[in-house]
Amino acid sequence: MVSVSEATVNILSQLYKPSIETVTITDAPGRVLAENVLADRDFPPFDRVSMDGVAIRFNEWKRGQRSFGIEDVQAAGSPAGQLRHAQCAVEVMTGAVLPEGTDTVIRYEDLTIHEDQATIQTMDVKQGQSIHRQGQDALQGDVLLEPGIILSPAEIALLASVGKSEVKVYAFPKTAIVASGDELVEIDTEPEPHQIRRSNTYAIQAAMKVMGWEGTQFHLMDDKNVLVDSLRMITASHDVVILSGGISKGKFDFIPDVLEEIGVKKVFQFVRQRPGKPFWFGVSDSGKIVFALPGNPVSTYLCFYRYVRPWLLSSLHVALKSMHAILARDFEFEPDLTYFLQVSVRNEMGKLMAYPDSGGGSGDFANLKKVDGFLELPSDRSTFKAGEAFPFIPFRLAN
């Protein structure tokens, strides 16, 4: 039996080495960048007018001139124009190149314009105002994005602006999601009274899909010979196998033995945690990774979010971020186990408050719809006080 932190260290030291694939920019959101992205030009690429108004020479304003004849208009998308007479102004639009000979922009809100004569109505004018200077944000050749970034809309904007219609990202491992159990039936069938529809593999597949990660589902019966043959084939043809069920001490829990028999070496079995104690993790000689998660639905769910998801992110070179939430009510848990407390969270004046709602144990997956994640309560204590912060493992996105 290992502690939660030992299990974590073991798992994070058996990372998958992803290959690199190229995707179009429209398929890139949520994927993990696998290349450096450089600025192909300065950001911005020219002195960019940042307000609609007129461009003048500051010196004329300083000498007391307040009214300027408009001699030209500079639109966004036109090549750089030029101020011909120092005492005049050029009408300029946001996004236009600052006309040569001007150095200050006065926005329309601070002007009156009458018969091509712009009169400045404010005393507050600073040299260089309302101009976004060439190279102010980044210089040509600067690294804008590095490998390991999950591409969000902000990064997509950068990719587009440097002309990358295609981008290199880390490929996901080929993944099998395997349910085991004689009691499980397909979800589109009517179960006999002693049967249940299998839901864990759908939950895992859904949790993966949110990350852009695909997996193929399998269902195996509790038959040792069938398990040996099927798991040998499944392991050979996938990089990662995520199992659920069949790993406890029950008479038909063959999975740990079968995995060892087909050459998957146990790294650990049993973690000092609740839920999810029977969790088994192993690696084959050829580097296949096997997560054998407990079958109880809440345990499967917790183990996916607490161990499998961070493993995948680390494998794709994403730096893991931890999150904390504040326990909103006192809570007691006696056993010498790390307890993953189901909580719903509310942001109260900038503090993430976690309200316990532990439900009816690891089989009660209907309770998951009421909560937002798990609070990780350490094993060395039994009393947890309202106001204390603990690691929080969210499974619901902010909305």
Give the residue, chosen from 295, 310, 356, 373, that forms a contact with ligand AMP under the rule CB under 6 A. 295
CB of 16 to Mg ion, least distance (A): 27
Residues in the chain: 399
Q: Which stretch binds ligand AMP (CB under 6 A): 121-129, 180-188, 303-311, 334-342?
A: 180-188
CB of 299 to ligand AMP, least distance (A): 8
Place of tokens 């932190």: 5
- Selection from Mg ion, ligand AMP, none that 199 binds (CB < 5 to 8 A by kind) is ligand AMP
Could you say whether residue 250 binds ligand AMP (CB under 6 A)?
yes
HSE toward the beta carbon, residue 379, CA cutoff 13 A: 14
CB of 164 to ligand AMP, least distance (A): 41
- Selection from ligand AMP, Mg ion, none that 256 binds (CB < 5 to 8 A by kind) is none
Tell me whether residue 40 or residue 183 sits nearer to Mg ion (CB atom): 183
Tell me whether residue 17 or residue 249 sits nearer to Mg ion (CB atom): 249
Closest C-alpha among 332, 358, 323 to residue 343:
358
Give the residue, chosen from 31, 164, 168, 198, that forms a contact with ligand AMP under the rule CB under 6 A. 198
How many beta carbons lie within 10 A of that of residue 149, not counting itself?
A: 19
Per the CB < 8 A criterion, the answer to whether 346 and 355 are in contact is: yes
Per the CB < 8 A criterion, the answer to whether 247 and 278 are in contact is: yes
Tell me whether residue 18 or residue 275 sits nearer to ligand AMP (CB atom): 275
Closest C-alpha among 21, 16, 20 to residue 286:
16
- Phi, psi of 233, deg, nearest 5: -65, -45
CB of 176 to ligand AMP, least distance (A): 13
CB of 383 to Mg ion, least distance (A): 35
Query: What is the bridge-based pairing of β-strands 280-284 and 338-348?
Result: unpaired
**Both tokens of residue 298?**
């809440």
DSSP state of 27: G
**Both tokens of residue 236?**
């050979």
Could you say whether residue 256 binds ligand AMP (CB under 6 A)?
no
Classify residue 245 as left (phi > 0), alpha (psi -120 to 50) or beta: left
Q: Please, which residues bridge with residue 89 across strands?
A: 70
- Residues 6 or more apart in contact with residue 310 via CB below 8 angstroms: 8, 11, 12, 320
Could you say whether residue 196 binds ligand AMP (CB under 6 A)?
yes
- Selection from ligand AMP, Mg ion, none that 90 binds (CB < 5 to 8 A by kind) is none
Q: What is the C-alpha separation between 52 and 130, in angstroms, rounded?
A: 9
Could you say whether residue 275 binds ligand AMP (CB under 6 A)?
no
Q: How many residues bind ligand AMP (CB under 6 A)?
A: 18
Could you say whether residue 248 binds ligand AMP (CB under 6 A)?
yes
Per the CB < 8 A criterion, the answer to whether 217 and 251 are in contact is: no
Estimate to the nearest angstrom the gap between the alpha carbon of 83 and the chain centroid. 49
Q: What is the C-alpha separation between 331 and 357, in angstroms, rounded?
A: 11
Tell me whether residue 198 or residue 238 sits nearer to ligand AMP (CB atom): 198
Could you say whether residue 245 binds ligand AMP (CB under 6 A)?
yes
CB of 206 to ligand AMP, least distance (A): 13
CB of 50 to ligand AMP, least distance (A): 57
Identity of the residue numbered 5: S
CB of 192 to Mg ion, least distance (A): 16
Tell me which residues touch Mg ion (CB under 5 A).
181, 245-246
**Both tokens of residue 106?**
């006065």
Q: Which stretch binds ligand AMP (CB under 6 A): 53-61, 197-205, 338-346, 368-376?
A: 197-205
Tell me whether residue 30 or residue 250 sits nearer to ligand AMP (CB atom): 250
Tell me whether residue 153 or residue 193 sits nearer to ligand AMP (CB atom): 193
Kindly list the residues in this chain that would bind ligand AMP in the complex (CB under 6 A): 179, 181, 183-184, 196, 198-201, 244-246, 248, 250, 294-297
